[in-house]
Structures are given as C-alpha cells and as structure tokens.
Structure 1
Amino acid sequence: MRTPHIDDAKNPDLETNQTKNGFLCLVSKLVIDEKLPIRFMYKTVPDHLNDTGWRMYTGYETEDFLEDELLNMIPMPVETMCKADPTLTKLVEYNAGTVWERHPGADENGWERVYDYKIPSPQVDVSITNDADEFNSLK
C-alpha cells in the first residue's frame, strides 16, 4: 500500500485549519550540530503558547538520545527551519497529529505522510483512588 504524497490530501483546508499559535519547534541537536537534514517530523499538541507543537528529527536519533529531550532537542523558530529547508513550509501548516517522513535518497520534495506512527505523549504519573482517607493522606 502506497503512503499518500503531500499533494494527495483529501481536503487540505480541513488539514490546516487549526488556530495557529506559537513560533517555536523542537529540533534534534543532530540537525543543528551535525548539519543533517530533517527526515522525520510530527506535530503534537503544543506545550506552551510559544510552541507550535512541531518536533523535527534526522531519523538517526537513538532511543537514549530521544529519552533526554532537554539535552538533545533545541527550540528553534519554525521560520528559521523553513528558510533552511523550504520543503518544510507547506508541511508546517498542518494540524496536530500530522506526521511526515522523507526517506534517505528521496528528492528534496520527497515527503510522505505517515499514518501509522503513534506520536509520543508526556508520561504523567497519576494515582487514582476512591478512598477518601487515602486521598486525604496524599495532601
């Protein structure tokens, strides 16, 4: 089964009509330090008002690398990333939940939409109880 290409969207207006907030994205240090191209990106729900929700990677990040987001991801203006790689400009208009991939060796416009990737969400440790005494002891 062929993954749809960027221009195959059923209704682009529905895919890009979210309210746009923020101007920053998180970019892998490998993009900045090693000058590697972005080959994988997704948009999650923004973490704060300046965040667009876009996360951009080279595809060479290891699990250990990805676990330390504070050390290995750099906040960058989306506009700066689009100037460095103009093929991102059309993609960053898409809504949260969108995932894009560009395979090594593909032409520079070779972005394909990914539908089977589960976007990571923050791990929150929550304790739930229906016992009032237990709940009160947690305060």
Structure 2
Amino acid sequence: MSLEDIDNPLSKEDETAQTKNGFLVLVSKLVFEDKLPVRFMYKTVPAHLNDTGWRLFTGYETPEFLEDELSNLLPVAVEKMIRLDPSLTELLEFNAGTVWERTPGSEGWERVYDFKIPADRVEVEITNDVDEFKH
C-alpha cells in the first residue's frame, strides 16, 4: 500500500505542512542491540529544538522497558535511521499526532488511528490565592 492509497480526508500536503525542526528521533535500543526492524512509530510534540518528535519502536518493548525512557530510547539522527530503513523517509515528514505500523509479513506501513500517543506528565500547581503566588 502506498501513502497515496491511505483513506484520509487530508491531503499529504496538509499532513506534512508543519514547520520542520530538529534532526533527532528517539529509537528503541532493541533496534540496535537485537537488530530488530522498526515496526511501530508515532510523532509527538517535540521535547526540544533538536527533537523531531518521532518515537520508533520494534513492537517487542514491554511496559517496563518503555517506562525507563532514558535508558531504553536512544537519540539517533534522522539520516541514520533513513539509511538503516529507507521506508521511513516519507513517513518522517508527517505531522505530530501521526502513528504508523507494519506487521510482520506485511507489504508496508499502515496508518494507525486508534492509538493514543502518550503525553509527558507535567505537574502544575494552580492557585487563586495571590499570597501563595510566587514571582
């Protein structure tokens, strides 16, 4: 299936129109340590200027593995990932909120619409008490 065949009300141009920032993707270390292919990926809002927002996984990561993001997700240059897997080239152009998967034995990537992209947890304290507000 090509990207043009995807049933999507938005055009590819609409789906790739975000300003491009960053040059790094976070990749599961299983891709490198176990030599497994990327089979699942999503784009979140970038965490910093060098981040594209893309998170790439093999599909074999456990919840415990994913909880230790600092140890188990490696920052890798987009160009390196494209050299390892040229099928990522078009996909990495898509906007935040995009999710893709390819199942073993499938011909290519398929768009996923029912996956909820994890959001970073941010603790915020809110007060209406002017005396508690710190400048």
TM-score scaled by structure 1? 0.88
Q: Cα deviations across residues 12-62 of structure 1 (Å, max 9, x unaligned)?
A: 110111111111000000011100000000111111111111100001101
Give the residue type in structure 2 aligned to 1:101: E
Between the aligned partners of 2:60 and 2:13, the Cα distance in structure 1 is 33
Between the aligned partners of 1:52 and 1:126, the Cα distance in structure 2 is 25
The answer to whether residue 63 in structure 2 is matched with residue 63 in structure 1 is yes
Match of 1:117 among 112, 115, 118: 115
1:41 alignment partner, SS class = strand
Q: Give unmatched runs, 5+ long, in structure 1.
A: none
Displacement of 1:134 in angstroms is 3.9
RMSD: 1.7
Between the aligned partners of 2:3 and 2:99, the Cα distance in structure 1 is 11
The answer to whether residue 115 in structure 2 is matched with residue 87 in structure 1 is no
Between the aligned partners of 1:83 and 1:122, the Cα distance in structure 2 is 29
Between the aligned partners of 1:49 and 1:132, the Cα distance in structure 2 is 34
Q: For this pair of structures, how many residues does the alignment match? A: 132
Between the aligned partners of 2:35 and 2:46, the Cα distance in structure 1 is 26
Query: Relative to total residues, which structure has the larger helix share, 1 or 2?
Result: 1
Displacement of 1:133 in angstroms is 3.5
2:71 alignment partner, SS class = helix
Between the aligned partners of 2:122 and 2:29, the Cα distance in structure 1 is 25
Between the aligned partners of 1:133 and 1:16, the Cα distance in structure 2 is 46
The answer to whether residue 39 in structure 2 is matched with residue 45 in structure 1 is no
Give the residue type in structure 2 aligned to 1:46: P
| Residues 54 and 92 in structure 1, CA contact (< 8 A), matched pair in contact too | yes
TM-score scaled by structure 2? 0.90
Displacement of 1:66 in angstroms is 0.4
Displacement of 1:5 in angstroms is 6.1
Q: Give unmatched runs, 5+ long, in structure 2.
A: none
Q: 1:19 to 1:95 in 2, by over 3 A?
A: same
